[in-house]
Structure 1
């Protein structure tokens, strides 16, 4: 059982696509995507929650991971698996 993953993204964001590829490679089959390009009010919500303007902004469970670089850093540090397992 993997944790619920939510990702604020846009349709043409290469970092969003790389984040999605990494998560799928880790066995995450369902990512709740919130498209801030289609729903501009969601970008406002994202900025209030994260303090950041850029996409992707990724949540694993209730934990704000950040963007792709942050996600990739967790993977390199060996910490992504336990976060995905909900540990």
Structure 2
């Protein structure tokens, strides 16, 4: 199971961009489509404290925010331990 979850929808351009970047950075993730599954939408609301925008990225059960926060975390080296093949 991946340590990173990306909550999003199928029509969100930033959701797509987030997934592309995570793949580029070789960070494994699980995608959770909140537009297709009501239970996923309930989980999204609970985990993200009722966030109103997507994508929302959750790392090790902690919501870090969206695309901007993800790129900032990467620039600060915060994703280094999540790169495929590393343990953390």
TM-score normalised by length of structure 2: 0.76
> Using the alignment, how far apart are the partners of 1:62 and 1:41 within structure 2?
17
Task: Extract unaligned runs of 5+ from structure 1.
Answer: none
| Residue number in structure 1 paired with 2:75 | 76
Aligned length: 84
SS class of match (2:11): coil
How far residue 10 of structure 1 moved from its aligned partner, in angstroms, is 0.5
> Using the alignment, how far apart are the partners of 1:8 and 1:86 within structure 2?
23
| Residue number in structure 2 paired with 1:43 | 41
Task: Extract unaligned runs of 5+ from structure 2.
Answer: none
| Residue number in structure 1 paired with 2:15 | 16
RMSD: 2.0
Structure possessing the higher relative contact order (Cα contacts under 8 Å, 6 or more residues apart)? 1
Q: Which deviates more from structure 2 when the two are superposed, residues 43-52 or residues 57-66?
A: 57-66
TM-score normalised by length of structure 1: 0.77
SS class of match (1:65): strand
How far residue 37 of structure 1 moved from its aligned partner, in angstroms, is 0.7
